Amino acid sequence: MWNIYLRAKEISGCGISGIIHRKGELIPGEMIIKSICCQYERGNGLGAGFAAYGIYPEFKDFYALHVMGQCRESLERVEEFLHKRTYVSFQEPIPTRRVKTIKNPPLFKRYFVRPKFEGEIVEAEDGQSEDDFMVNLVMEINEKISGAYVISSGKNMGVFKGVGFPDEIAEFFRIDEYQAYIWTAHNRFPTNTPGWWGGAHPFTLLDWSIVHNGEISSYGTNKRYLELFGYKCTLLTDTEVVAYILDLLIRRHGLPLELACKVMAPPFWIEIDEMDEEDRELYTALRMVYGGAVLNGPFAILFAYNGGLVGLNDRVKLRPLVVANKGDLYVMGSEEAAIRTILPDPERVWAPKAGEPVIVEMEEATIPNQKSYLKVRPKEEREDALRIGSYPLSLFTSK
């Protein structure tokens, strides 16, 4: 049995790479493999993974579930569950190759599904969005079906990850056979060895995928903060809190992506104190309200979604991050070498400022179901019973 709910928080160092084409041209898997393998020394063979966007154009409107099973029965249980709760349009084993060094890998299948709202079989609450439905579904599978684990669940994207060096994992999952308009990759150096495939990066929530280098020292605070909003940090990885914070800030609170990044890596007070009044108020408010969402400690993260790739550093630059572009092709990585190995003659190479996000979004209407997070969006309806000015007495409950 896999021990998904680890007792202790994982600690790991890493290397990361990401590629995006702004016009949606497809990038062969070969490129991302080369880039991440160039950073071979940053891992220790205990985890690697890839996220690819745009790989399932024929099922672009379906949630693609990549499911890992310990054995045939656990996958059968997942299938039974999926048929009850979703419309499964197509399913197949994820193609793999035999790799000498990978012994007894788990089984992998992918399912293309849509939520099944109507009927008596599921109780779907009014107004529950498809995304919420899928998030709950995935959590339920991970929590309740032993031996099965959903690795990714976004539309037109998928994650391939496991225990091994990046070249081994790429070989195993036949990454070279895919083409994508966004790629991210991870090479892992964990200090503890739970030795399970789900612990590798990228970590996902719907079409958000995250690869992360560093350890977030504020994990305890972030975890407790997220619990306030109903997120259960069960995987005990830093990366998980990043995903939930993004979901909270962007999807639920409607913050634009830049500001969400500024929440995670806030400017210093000495900088805020120098800002003009409007900015000072804004950034003071962000720090005051979202103190629990600050990612403190060393990190460089790449996160991707259907339509964009973002690189972000901690605010004192404790982890490296380099970005380069040539035309519409943008590459990010822990090392400049990882970029030059696939893009020998970039137009521009730069190291982003600490805490300054690099946000590369595709041109408008380039891909199906495209998302953009650069604008303010309506906040999710929630009653915050703030007090001054209007105090409905109903809010006051005597003990």
Partner 1 sequence: MSTPIFANFHPDFYVERLWDKCIKCKRCIRECTYGVHIWDEKKKTLKEDHTKCVGCHRCSAMCPTNALIIRRHPSDFREHALWTPWFIKNIYKQADQGGVLLTSTGCALPYKNYFDHLVIDACQVTNPPIDPLREPMELRTFIGPKPEAVEVEEVNGRFRLKKKLPPVIRIEVPIMFAGMSYGAISLHVHQGLARAARDLGTLYNTGEGGLHASLYEYGANTIVQCASGRFGLHIDYLNAGVAIEIKIGQGAKPGIGGHLPGEKVTEEISKTRMIPVGSDALSPAPHHDIYSIEDLRGLIFALKEATEYKKLVFVKIAAVHNVAAIASGIVRAGADAVVIDGLKGGTGASPTMFRDNIGIPIELAISAVDKRLREEGIRHRTSIIASGGIRCSADVVKAIALGADAVYIGTAALIACGCTMCQRCHTGKCPWGIATNNPELMKRLPPEVAYEKIYNLVKGWAHEIKEMLGAMGINSIESLKGNRDKLRAVGLTREEMEILEVKHAGE
Interacting residue ranges for partner 1, rule: CB under 8 A: 7-9, 11-13, 191, 214-215, 217-221, 223-225, 227-228, 252-256, 258-259, 266, 268-270, 278-279, 281-282, 285-292, 294, 296-298, 315-316, 318, 375-376, 379, 382, 384-388, 391, 395-399
**Residues with catalytic function:** 14
Q: Least Å distance between CB 304 and partner 1? A: 23
Contacts of 1 (CB under 8 A, 6+ apart): 70, 146, 147
Show the tokens assigned to 279: 């900015």
Q: Are 200 and 188 in contact (CB under 8 A)?
A: yes
Q: Give 162 or 214: the residue with its C-beta nearer to partner 1.
A: 214
Residue listed under structure tokens 């996958």: 75
Q: Give 228 or 365: the residue with its C-beta nearer to partner 1.
A: 228
Show the tokens assigned to 198: 């789900």
Q: Least Å distance between CB 289 and partner 1? A: 5
Q: Least Å distance between CB 254 and partner 1? A: 8
Q: 238-246 and 257-264 are packed helices; what angle lies between their axes, rounded to 10 degrees?
A: 140
Q: Give 365 or 396: the residue with its C-beta nearer to partner 1.
A: 396
Q: Least Å distance between CB 229 and partner 1? A: 8
Q: Least Å distance between CB 193 and partner 1? A: 14
Q: Give 45 or 297: the residue with its C-beta nearer to partner 1.
A: 297
**DSSP-derived secondary structure letter, 197:** G
| List of E strands, the chain | 12-21, 27-28, 48-53, 63-69, 86-93, 107-115, 148-152, 157-162, 179-180, 182-190, 203-205, 208-213, 300-305, 308-313, 322-326, 329-333, 348-350, 358-361
Cα pseudo-dihedral 207, 134, 163, 213, rounded to 10: 40
Q: Give 155 or 253: the residue with its C-beta nearer to partner 1.
A: 253
Q: Give 270 or 365: the residue with its C-beta nearer to partner 1.
A: 270
Say how far apart CA 215 and CA 218 lie, in whole Å. 9
- Between strands 329-333 and 12-21, the pairing is antiparallel
Contacts of 170 (CB under 8 A, 6+ apart): 29, 33, 36, 37, 48, 50, 176
Helix, strand, or coil (residue 252): helix
Q: Least Å distance between CB 365 and partner 1? A: 21
